[in-house]
Structure 1
């Protein structure tokens, strides 16, 4: 398996190639960043980080544990001490795949596995690889269907943890329109439903890549202005604002090219909510 510094170097080149080759991607990147108040020069580092995200996946899924440190873990400890399940929320920021791995390595032995959602690939062989790779020690990957959601609810009620990407656009009928950086974005309602139904503590997670492949810093913090509002619309806005808060801490590692404001796709699948 290639070292992380090499994968990140190759990924940075891949990110810039993709950016230069696609006018649509460039336009969406610039437009999304501008909505948040950033000039391209302030977030140009995110172009390389998008490529690093892709290049590091095989290492994250199949390789040995990577170096990291945790900051802000006291809020996680406090939630477990209260006997509550934990709902980790992280946007498409930094190495969001590793956020759950780090939390699992730190707390799953004592408090049970972290359950995360994933969207199965269309190709059966790739779907099997993704399922196997994401079931790392202390982690349980469940598909984005009704069965997966039920497993997440059960895990939270047992006092375990689950992870979601609440800035992922859900299918039609599984979200609501809510402001995100000042523009309405179709936003999943699953996070709000899970928190309201189980009383889980909402914890924000942000995994920052260190330079030169030195590993990661995983930041945890409580939801600002906690607790989560009981009104569903207000709670949804509260979560979007929390994601903005995280993104503004590392804007050069956010996936500005992600189609956050796209129309939701129409599908017949049961309610789900994204992957983490």
Structure 2
């Protein structure tokens, strides 16, 4: 990394530190303004978002998809600036801003000695939810190192600020994750991106074949774990966030890996429909294609 790049990164971190002192409604408004700039000028990412929306919501016309994309960038801008709270805000403030709803469902499973996988799809509030969960539960999760070493330091700081968190690399494999779950650590699991890995299969996501990793049923089987769906919703107007713990899935895994992976994708689809602007549409979810299919991006 060049000296100029490192200096610019430190300046960006300093700017976020200044912003974290602002009240959340003000920070949220600034985030929306940032999102509007990103929507207007980040042409490559806007193209990715609009392509994803065209594939997943073909019934929407161009104007409706563009309006949804704009709302997505507004929420994304908020999440970028509100990350400053995860890095520096006091724990008591974050506990007031981020409410846990239904956490007793997971607590009862853990108290009974049952390993738990928290299924947490890529909604923009997932880091806020993960940090809030860490205040109440010592968990295990996967940490992907950032290319920028300055931001990597702060991302790692934010992920490990609260509680006794165990962060694993994806290349560590399943064994340490299963061991951690069996030791009583719930696993904060984000399996809904295109990782191009050998453990992926093509199953529909909004009717489009999507390369989807099969880790959820495999890990649930290896650890004897219950799957608890977890969604983090960003509330409007700087009102904060709510982390929703659902009921543990019955009859999972079923023994049919493809059917179980499809069940996961269908549940994520339902969650996306409940807050479509908050899903992480800037990711190239369909970059890996079945043989012979053109790349959509």
Q: 1:78 maps to which residue?
A: 108
SS in 1 for 2:231: strand
Q: How does 1:1-276 map to 2 (within 5 A)?
A: 1-3=20-22, 4-37=24-57, 38=60, 39-40=64-65, 41=67, 44-65=70-91, 66=94, 67-106=97-136, 108=137, 113-147=138-172, 149-222=174-247, 226-263=251-288
CA contact (8 A) 1:5 1:213 kept: yes
Structure 1, 191-200 or 148-157: larger mean CA deviation:
148-157
CA distance in 2, matches of 1:64, 1:9: 21
CA distance in 1, matches of 2:85, 2:246: 27
Unpaired runs of 5+ residues, structure 2, are 1-19, 290-297
SS in 1 for 2:221: helix
Unpaired runs of 5+ residues, structure 1, are 265-276
Rate the CA distance shift 1:123–1:44 in 2: closer, same or farther, 3 A.
closer
Q: Aligned-pair RMSD on alpha carbons? A: 2.3
CA contact (8 A) 1:224 1:242 kept: no
CA distance in 2, matches of 1:228, 1:215: 34
CA contact (8 A) 1:90 1:206 kept: yes
CA distance in 2, matches of 1:256, 1:124: 25
- State TM-score, norm by structure 2: 0.78
Is the helix fraction higher in 1 or 2? 2
Rate the CA distance shift 1:70–1:129 in 2: closer, same or farther, 3 A.
closer
CA distance in 2, matches of 1:223, 1:260: 26
- State TM-score, norm by structure 1: 0.83
Structure 1, 63-72 or 230-239: larger mean CA deviation:
63-72
SS in 2 for 1:56: helix
Q: 1:272 maps to which residue?
A: none
Deviation at 1:42, TM superposition (A): 5.1
CA offsets 1:72-111 (integer angstroms, 9 cap, x no match):
33431332243211111122214111222222223x2xxx
Report which structure shows greater RCO (CA 8 Å, sep ≥6).
1
CA contact (8 A) 1:204 1:223 kept: yes
SS in 2 for 1:131: helix
CA offsets 1:126-146 (integer angstroms, 9 cap, x no match):
433332321122252524233
Deviation at 1:172, TM superposition (A): 3.1
CA offsets 1:140-186 (integer angstroms, 9 cap, x no match):
25242333643321111113201111112214324222211111111
Rate the CA distance shift 1:241–1:5 in 2: closer, same or farther, 3 A.
same
CA offsets 1:4-47 (integer angstroms, 9 cap, x no match):
33332222122221221233322332232233335324564222
Q: How many residues align?
A: 259
Deviation at 1:208, TM superposition (A): 1.0
Structure with the greater alpha carbon radius of gyration: 2
Structure 1, 216-225 or 90-99: larger mean CA deviation:
216-225
